């Protein structure tokens, strides 16, 4: 899966492998596809009905993982399929916190277009703006 082999994923799905199966951290195959930016695998999984807002044990969604790694195409595909741009993980961070903290301006802009809440606060009452200022 880490190779991003969409043909292998499709083959396994056709053989009956559960695409919603979670690992020990509560991650599904979609959680693995998003941070490597594998749009073909994301498409295959959402086509068969995998929940784009499914959460890991740490409350992380595939969208948050795609944003944290800066994969705009994966992010856009997940948003197109109904992913919530305001989903909070443990600690209260939303995808916009990650994008701002990493200085990923194109991702911040894409999140704003997708309806991200600019004023959401984490558990320490910090907004994404706090992190954007730190980045300069």
Rounded Cα gap, residues 90 and 71, in angstroms: 21
Taking only the tens place, the pLDDT of each residue in 35-64 is: 999 999 999 999 999 999 999 999 999 999
pLDDT computed for residue 3 by the predictor: 63
Taking only the tens place, the pLDDT of each residue in 115-128 is: 999 999 999 999 99
Report all structural domains of the chain as residue ranges with CATH numbers, in order of start.
Answer: 6-135 (1.25.40.20)
**In Å, how far are 26, 47, 113 from 51, measured between CA atoms?**
13, 10, 22
Q: What is the DSSP string of 27-47?
A: --HHHHHGGGT-HHHHHHHHH
């Amino acid at each position: 899966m880490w190779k991003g082999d969409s043909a292998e994923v499709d083959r396994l799905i056709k053989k009956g492998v559960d695409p919603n199966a979670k690992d020990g951290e509560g991650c599904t195959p979609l959680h693995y596809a998003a941070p490597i930016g594998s749009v073909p695998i994301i498409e295959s999984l959402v086509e068969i009905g995998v929940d784009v807002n499914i959460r890991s044990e740490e409350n992380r969604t595939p969208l948050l993982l795609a944003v944290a790694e800066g994969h705009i195409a994966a992010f856009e595909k997940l948003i197109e399929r109904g992913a919530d741009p305001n989903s909070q993980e443990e600690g209260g961070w939303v995808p916009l916190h990650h994008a701002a903290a990493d200085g990923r301006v194109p991702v911040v802009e894409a999140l704003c277009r997708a309806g991200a809440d600019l004023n959401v606060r984490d558990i320490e009452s910090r907004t994404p703006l706090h992190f954007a200022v730190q980045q300069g």
